[in-house]
Amino acid sequence: MNIALAQFNPIVGDLTGNAHRTVEWVKRACEQGADLVVFPELSVVGYSPHDLLDNAHFIDAVEAAIRFIHSHVPPDMGVLVGAPVRNPNPVGKKLLNAAVLLEKGRPARLTPKMLLPTYDVYDEYRYFEPAESQEVMEFSGMRLGVHICEDMWNLEEYATYHMYDRNPIAELVDQGVDVLINLSASPWAHDRHAVRNGIIKTLCQQHNVPFVMVNQVGANTELIFDGDSSVHGQDGQLLASAPSFEESLLLWNTEHSTACDPAPRHRIQDLHDALVLGIREYVDKTGAFDEVLIGLSGGIDSAVTAALAVEALGPERVTGVTMPSLHSSEGSVSDSESLARNLGIAFHELPIKNAVDAFESTLSPLFDGTPFGIAEENIQARSRGVLLMAIANKFSRMVLTTGNKSELAMGYATLYGDMSGGLAVLADVFKMDVYALARYINKRAGEVRIPVSSIEKPPSAELRPDQKDEDSLPPYPLLDDILQRYIEERQDEELIAQATGQSISFVRGILDAVDRNEYKRKQAPPGLRVSVKGFGSGRRMPIVARVDRQGIERMMHELQEESPA
């Protein structure tokens, strides 16, 4: 059998567009000799449609889209699409997350998803009822073990703890299958490629069955999907793979068993490609703005954001504005000018002295006699925010914010100032990775795109004389290490202190700062998720809370002392 892997990029909610494009891909697969074409999880609606699923009219339209696709399936061919379907059982959630097999002249057949993730960015049990059982689908003389995304992830060696008491893969294999087929909408994050391949290889070797995984590609708001669709043989060897971060139609013959060498993976290259895709998709899929606007400071973060935006949209759709203050260095303007020239983008200089003076004059009845401090520093940042938003409104552009994950974690950012905008490109990228991206961008271009001085200068917000980030923050290599351990690896303060060689009080101060600034991050624009734990829907921390780590430690010590021997 010839199986086509349709690494497809749907737009969430665009049922008409997704249905028409699905039919186009089916036609292409048919022309290439495919007997069966497999699309990703929820391919008809895009992942994830969230509360669109609560709208009965929307589900009616989904059913119409499936009927449209079904009516265009060629004879003697099968099409597997992913879609929400109504639950025929009156008890339970109203919908099933299903793989739907469409064949000409036959009723649609479906297999629902059994394991519904409710962690990190996933909230599927909010909408879907889990499958009670898994049943093999017979098609063209073959027994297909069709299942959906999370159904393959219940392996002890790849989970910190078991969440499910069912094993859909084992239940399918026990019925006898010729090939396992997984429809996925698995977002990209660092090392996700290796984890997916490791799981699939293990499943193949455990059950001695080949495995086809078809994953969504594209980006929807914060989630970035890399595709990475693949075919593994029954021994776990990679037989075929689709390119990452782009649509692809990959054809595999089930009689083909020749292993291929996997393409080498480069962490920063993947990060670059993911962010470029995320920017392009956010701008193009929302359709609200054709162009973007970036405040250029001469520093590394705004430079990398601008370079990524140019890669995503082209220089003609990117504008840079530098807004020097009395405290800005000469390099703030000259490095911004060099960057704009290197990237070929429109560039403007708008000094903010008059705006700052006006704010300070207006506030003088209240501020006179008080020392210069954070309020005055933030007036500068907010003056820049006002200018950027005014330009964006006037010329219908979207502002890209430039803050990185390290800064956002520590609250080293100004609400309604540098946090103003429509998309936070680097919100899930630690500072040291921003530097790595800058070097990669220059290397990839074969020329200096980002000025060397922007890479080499000490980072500074330049909101007061001779200000440096390290006046307020630990050195970024150390800070990033601690933040990654706390936010992404969920380590406690004692383990972090031991691993980094720092005191408990020092580590606790950083962790407290992260918790204390949750209110800022809740008001930030959506950020592109590239890690296993980003600031967004996958990290739900309370704003109104009091986490007294020292008090908890003291209480635990007291309880231990009071416990009977």
Terminal CA-CA length for the chain: 69
Cα separation, 28 vs 183, whole angstroms: 19
Neighbour-count burial of 509, counting CB atoms closer than 10 A to its CB (0-12 exposed, 13-18 middle, 19+ buried): middle
- Which of 30, 103, 124, 149 is flagged as catalytic? 149
- Which of 41, 103, 150, 493 is flagged as catalytic? 41
Closest CA to 305 of 480, 427, 129, 212: 427
Neighbour-count burial of 389, counting CB atoms closer than 10 A to its CB (0-12 exposed, 13-18 middle, 19+ buried): middle
187 three-state secondary structure: strand
- The tokens for 203 are 């499943």
Cβ-based neighbours of 563, under 8 Å, separated by 6 or more:
none
The answer to whether the CB of 296 falls within 8 A of the CB of 451 is no
- Cα 227–229–231 angle (5° rounding)? 175
Residues in the chain: 565
CA 550 to chain centroid, in Å, comes to 34
Asked if the bond preceding 48 is cis, omega within 30° of 0, the reply is yes
By DSSP bridging, strand 95-103 and strand 78-86 are: antiparallel
What Cα–Cα distance (Å) separates residue 404 from each residue in 47, 121, 434? 26, 20, 8
Cα separation, 65 vs 378, whole angstroms: 51
Tell me which H or E stretch contains 294: strand 291-296
Active site residue 431: no
Q: SS in 3 state form for 104-137?
A: CCEEEEEEECCCCCCCCCCCHHHCECCCCCCCCE
- The tokens for 377 are 């520093």
- Cα 534–539–544 angle (5° rounding)? 130
348 has which bridge partners?
A: 321
- Which of 30, 113, 281, 533 is flagged as catalytic? 113
Question: Order of strands across the sheet with 211-215?
Answer: 137-139, 142-148, 179-184, 211-215, 230-232, 238-241
The answer to whether the CB of 40 falls within 8 A of the CB of 46 is no
Active site residue 41: yes
Tell me which H or E stretch contains 399: strand 397-401
- The tokens for 549 are 């780590």
- The tokens for 184 are 């996925």
Closest CA to 301 of 421, 193, 391: 421
DSSP secondary structure letter of residue 95: E
Please report, as a single letter, which amino acid is at residue 85: V
Active site residue 149: yes
294 has which bridge partners?
A: 320
Closest CA to 135 of 93, 176, 86, 82: 176
Look-up of token digits 């049990």: 125
- As annotated, the active-site residues are 41, 113, 149
